Structure formats: C-alpha cells, structure tokens
Structure 1
Amino acid sequence: MCDTQRSGAVATNASSGSGGQPAGGSSTLPRRQLGRYLRDWRTQAGLTIAEAAKLMEWGASTLQRLEKGQADRIRTIDIHELCRIYGIPDALAEGLTGLAQQAAVKSWWHAYGDLIPENFDIYVGLEASAHRLRSYQSELVLGLLQTADYARALNQLGFPEDSVDELDRRVALRMQRQALITRRHSPAEIDVVLHESVLHRVVGDAKVMAAQLRHLADSSTRSNVTLRVLPFAAGVPLGVSTGPFTVLEFGTGSTGQPVEPPVVYAEGFTGDLYLERRVDVRRYDRAHECLQRHALDIQSSRHLLRQVAKEYVA
C-alpha cells in the first residue's frame, strides 16, 4: 500500500483554509472557466478588450480581470449583456450565467443541472487549455484516446433517445478534442495508467474492442503519450479505491510560475469534483505515482494491449 495520507473526506464544497475561506485568493475554477469562455467568444466576435469594455462602459482592466478569473464581484446582468454583445447562444449563455453564480471556493462539486445546465460541459474547456494530463482510468478508456466506434457505443448507451445526427455530433466533438494530443504545435503530454479490467470490459463488440486496443498501443508510441497498464496481479496498491481521476496542468509563464494552478478532475454519475487545494492535488499526484510504480512498464503494456486485441478477433 502506498502512502497517500488518507485523512477522511477528500473535500467539501468550501474545503479550504481557516474560517472556510479559500486558501491563496479567490481565483477559482468556475471564474476562470467563465473568463476563458468570454475571452474566446470576444475574439470570435472580432472585438479587442478595449472595444468590448467600451461597449460595457467599463475600463479595459475590468474586463481583463473578468477574463482572467480575477474579478472580485461578478453580476449576472453584466454576463447577460456580454453574451448579447458577443452573440453567444442562449443555451451557452445560461451556462455562463451559472458559472458566474458559483461561490469562490478552491474545491468545487459541480452538480449536474444545479444552476449550470446538465449539457454544459465544464471539463472540455478545462481540458483544451491543459499542457499536461496525468490520469488513472479504472473503468473506461480515457476520452482523449477513444476511437470513434468506442465513443459511439458509449454514447448510444448514455443517450439512448438521441437521433443519429445528435449521436454523430457527440462523437465528432469527442474526436475534435483529441487534437489536443495530435496537433503538430505543442501537443499536450498525457500520462495514463489504465487498469487491466478496461481491456476486458466490452464496449460495443469484439471488433470495436480490438480496434480500440490497437489504437491504444499505437498511440503509446507517440512521444507525448505515456500509457501503462495496471495488471490484476498488482492488487490494490493504494489500499483504497480512488475511482478514475485526472490531474491537469496548464504550463508555466515567463517567470516560471504556473499559468494557472493544477486541477484534479474526478467524474461522477450525478456531478463532477474539481480540486485545486495544493494538499489535495499533491495527494492525487502521489496516488498516480504509486499506481505507476505498480503498473507494467511501457513496452510490456503495449505488448499486452496488442495481445488482448488479437484475442478479441481470434
């Protein structure tokens, strides 16, 4: 068992420093995500910060702080007006308004449908900005490494009432996300530990699984992709089940300091958990390091993937 300093619950909605106040300021994930969306849509609208700020009758620094997630006070009426100026669709505007209403906390439980619509995907925007992702997957293949057929099979189960066009759209969006690791310029680094059970849990059919495992093996030959399989024989290295998780890092600025603090993402059935406190991130860092040590090495993992792929089509 590896020492991950387990000490009760991982986090609460306001888990932080003394007095329940967030440690290290109030620049937290919901506000950064709001700022990221607003910046992208302002750019798409062809407006500079100065031009957009003038339309809001603000100083440029006010809008700049909002886009950086550093605004001390956010009014929903202002977010509505920015959405109108930028031409943001109503469904997305509703999600941005929900983000604006989130409390300034360092650990955030995003309950689906609570202020923010269930179909508003917080994680995708976060993932797109990441420079490095370290992940442990115990049930399914990481989205960034899924084939289209594997993703389609999952979405057919998860959204049985979707039309063919809606299903195609979901799969296309999943495939577009993978540009993060396949693009030529500065692709993100990913380091994945995949439990062996994922190799044997059939999604779709044998043909889909064989293609998916071959894709994993091929992807692991990329210089920015590290993939290890945690075998059944490794037991429970942590002595406790963490569930799937991903630690996202966003690179460093000119001073060598992180552009944004790292975030732990843990997907749930009724909501997602986002952790920013250093103590929480470090615990997950140690957990990932422990799982790596007990996993097969890279070559052995690739060999096992290809071997199991052959068994599916034998």
Structure 2
Amino acid sequence: MTSDDEPSTLPRRQLGRFLREARDSRGLSMDRAAQLVELSKTALHRIETGGVKKLRIRDIGALCELYEVTPADTDRAIELAKQSQVASWYTAFGGLYSDTTFNMYVGLAAAARQLIAYHEIVLGLLQTGDYARCLITAFYHGSSNEDIERRVELRLKRQAIITRRADPVKLELLLHESALHRMVGGPHVMSAQLHHLAELGKLPNVSLRVQPFAAGCSRGLLHGPFVILEFGFDAKSRPIEPPLVYLEGSGKPDIYMENRDDVRRYHEIASLIRETALTEAKTRDLLRRVARSYTA
C-alpha cells in the first residue's frame, strides 16, 4: 500500500497498460520491442506492469516512437511518467486522464477482479443504451450526435467485462432507491432500464441490492457514490495490485484513494449499506414493480 510520503502507483499502472496495448496493436513481442529500444525484456515487463518506481522519460519516448503513438498521446504518456513520482495520499486526475485513451477508471475497472459500488444513478456498466445516451447527452451538452454516439458505443462495449462468459468481473452494486425514481429520458427509458437491471441481477457474478429510502443515512452522513476496486491475488497469495477507492469527479478531478485506512473506511461504509439493503430477490421484485409503474 502507499503511505503518505510514497508516490502513487496509479500513474505508472495506467502508463504500463497503455504501452502494453500500444505494443500489442503493433504486433510486436516483448522481446522484439525491448531489443529495438535497447531495454532488457525484464525492464520492459516491469514498465508494462507498473513495477518501475523511477521511470526514465527517454525510455517512454522511445517506446512511444516505436509504437507510432500520436504526439498528443506521447505527451500524455510522458506526463504520466512524471506524475508517477508525485507523493500523495490520494491521486486526483481531471481531463488529461479522462479521455478515451487514458481514462484511468476504465483501465482499472477492466483489470479488476471485483467491484463493490454504491451509486445513486444506474452504474455505467449496467446501463441500457437509451439510458446512457440521455446521461451522456446532458453531460456533453453541445456535442455532435456523432460524438455522443461514439461515447455511448464505448460505454456499452465496456460492459463486456461483466457479461462475458470467460472470467467476468464480479460486481456488487448497492443502488440507492432514488435511482429508481430519478427520471432519465422519460418513462419508457426508465421502464426498460429497470427491467434490464432485474435481469442482470440474476447473473452469477452480479449482486444487485437496493438500499431503500427508509434506511436513512449510513453512518449519519451523505457519503456519495463510490467504487471499491480489488484486483485479486497471484499464485503466492500476494495482491496483484493494491485495492483502491474511486470517487467520480462529475466535472471535477476524479479521486483515487490507495491509502489502507481509506480503503478500509469505504469497506465499512459498504458493509453498513449492505446491512440496510433489500435482498437480491426483493430488489428484483421492486425493480419490476417500479418499471411497470412507468408504463401503467
């Protein structure tokens, strides 16, 4: 785990994923890529897995040049390498790391083995196309239809980590009842979305439970949405990557908490929400009942 005076592991983990994907897209083996930039295979492997604490800018630049990365993405990759040396108890990333190439959360969620989320709107991984389109259109007001549709398509494609047959990500979603009544896109969109949730909740890797209004405030406060990401363990029972907490910025920089105490605190909050939530079966019944009310 990181401590208050240790650099965050997030920038180099994100950079490693980007470089690995860029190498794969060029069809280069790790051996060949390492040879062409005069690195050992071990050194390149450690860069791609986020294991190098002091990244050399010239190595990152050479790899980006080899992989024919665009100048803009090369600049972002180099900035990630520089950011990897910043000591912080949390990491805040705004627009630079929220584009489609360097989206920090998307990369982390794809690498995670388990997600524990509390949300007050439907989580992106479980949204229908129409529900997602309404939210994205409102957030990116003024964007072209082509841009909106591209973003919707990307969001729906990312849902494959939940629905794929081979080794899907385990998801526990604790959804506040307000999400069932907060109108997004009109009655028909809401009805279809809630029916969709009820069906997804039957997947073996998905646990979906609604926290009712009657539960009040967990720990007496409005803690807001969060996602706990866990990455599993290797053959020697060591964490593959340290767990973390993600707080979506919603227009402000996103927050990533790696500190052990922060992760434990959000696990405790999730446990309190879980204690007051409906069972999975009662949640599905409620979802279907509210869905029918929209089209009655």
SS at match of 2:116: strand
1:122 aligned onto 2:104: yes
Taking the aligned partners of 2:50 and 2:263, their CA distance within structure 1 comes to 20
Q: Return the TM-score normalized by structure 2.
A: 0.93
Task: Return 81-90 or 227-236, whichever deviates more.
Answer: 81-90
Bigger proportion of residues as helix: 2
List structure 1 runs of 4+ shifted beyond 4 angstroms.
none
| 2:92 paired residue number | 110
| 1:10 paired residue number | none
Which of residues 172, 180, 187 in structure 2 aligns to 1:206?
187
Distance 1:178 1:217, change over 3 A: same
Please report how far the alpha carbon of residue 55 of structure 1 lies from its aligned counterpart in structure 2 after TM superposition.
1.5
Taking the aligned partners of 2:90 and 2:143, their CA distance within structure 1 comes to 30
Distance 1:205 1:94, change over 3 A: farther
Q: Is the 8 A contact 1:227 1:298 kept in 2?
A: yes
1:295 aligned onto 2:253: no
Q: What letter is aligned with 1:271?
A: P
Task: List gaps (5 residues or longer) in structure 2.
Answer: none
Please report how far the alpha carbon of residue 104 of structure 1 lies from its aligned counterpart in structure 2 after TM superposition.
4.4
Q: Is the 8 A contact 1:135 1:246 kept in 2?
A: yes
| 1:83 paired residue number | 64
Taking the aligned partners of 1:157 and 1:90, their CA distance within structure 2 comes to 31
Could you say what the CA RMSD is over the residues aligned between the two structures, in angstroms? Answer: 1.8
Q: Return the TM-score normalized by structure 1.
A: 0.88
Taking the aligned partners of 1:284 and 1:273, their CA distance within structure 2 comes to 13
Q: Is the 8 A contact 1:213 1:305 kept in 2?
A: yes
Taking the aligned partners of 1:161 and 1:190, their CA distance within structure 2 comes to 33
Taking the aligned partners of 2:161 and 2:110, their CA distance within structure 1 comes to 7
Q: What letter is aligned with 1:276?
A: E
What is the CA deviation profile of residues 218-270 of structure 1, one whole-angstrom value per residue up to 9, with x for unaligned ones? Answer: 10011111011010000112211211100111121111222111111111131
Q: Once the two structures are aligned, what percentage of the paired residues are identical? A: 45
Taking the aligned partners of 1:310 and 1:36, their CA distance within structure 2 comes to 43
| 2:226 paired residue number | 245
Please report how far the alpha carbon of residue 16 of structure 1 lies from its aligned counterpart in structure 2 after TM superposition.
5.9
| 2:259 paired residue number | 277
What is the CA deviation profile of residues 176-205 of structure 1, one whole-angstrom value per residue up to 9, with x for unaligned ones? Answer: 100001101011110010000111111111
| 2:117 paired residue number | 135
Task: List gaps (5 residues or longer) in structure 1.
Answer: 1-14
What is the CA deviation profile of residues 109-141 of structure 1, one whole-angstrom value per residue up to 9, with x for unaligned ones? Answer: 32424xx35524111111111111000002x11
Taking the aligned partners of 2:73 and 2:138, their CA distance within structure 1 comes to 25
Distance 1:192 1:93, change over 3 A: same
Please report how far the alpha carbon of residue 92 of structure 1 lies from its aligned counterpart in structure 2 after TM superposition.
3.0
Taking the aligned partners of 1:286 and 1:293, their CA distance within structure 2 comes to 11
1:175 aligned onto 2:182: no
Taking the aligned partners of 1:293 and 1:301, their CA distance within structure 2 comes to 14
SS at match of 2:255: strand
Taking the aligned partners of 2:70 and 2:197, their CA distance within structure 1 comes to 36
| 1:6 paired residue number | none
1:21 aligned onto 2:19: no
Q: Is the 8 A contact 1:109 1:271 kept in 2?
A: no
What is the CA deviation profile of residues 146-181 of structure 1, one whole-angstrom value per residue up to 9, with x for unaligned ones? Answer: 000011001111112222211111011000100001
Taking the aligned partners of 1:117 and 1:143, their CA distance within structure 2 comes to 18
Q: What letter is aligned with 1:41?
A: A
How many residues are paired up? 292
Which of residues 50, 66, 69 in structure 2 aligns to 1:69?
50
Distance 1:29 1:201, change over 3 A: same
